[in-house]
Amino acid sequence: MTQFVNVAKASDIPDQSAKCVEVQGRRICLVNLGGTFYAIDDTCTHAEASLSEGHVTGDEIMCPLHMATFSILTGEVTGPPADEDLATYRVRVNGDDVAVEL
Cα separation of 66 and 62, whole Å? 9
Distances (CA, A) of 76 to 1, 3, 25, 45: 25, 24, 22, 11
What does pTM read for this prediction?
0.95
Question: What's the Rg (C-alpha) of the chain?
Answer: 13
The confidence score (pLDDT) of residue 54 equals 97
Q: What is the pLDDT along the chain (102 residues), one digit of tens a residue?
A: 789 999 999 999 999 999 999 999 999 999 999 999 999 999 999 998 999 999 999 999 999 999 999 999 999 999 999 999 999 999 999 999 999 999
Q: Say how far residue 5 (Cα) sits from the centre of its chain.
A: 15
**What would the pLDDT profile of 63-81 be if each residue is shown by its tens digit?**
999 999 999 999 999 999 9
In this prediction, residue 2 carries a pLDDT of: 87
Please state which of the four CATH numbers 2.40.33.10, 3.40.50.2300, 2.102.10.10, 2.60.40.10 is assigned to the domain occupying 4-101.
Answer: 2.102.10.10
Domain ranges of the chain: 4-101
User: What is the rounded CA–CA span in Å between residue 47 and residue 62?
Assistant: 13
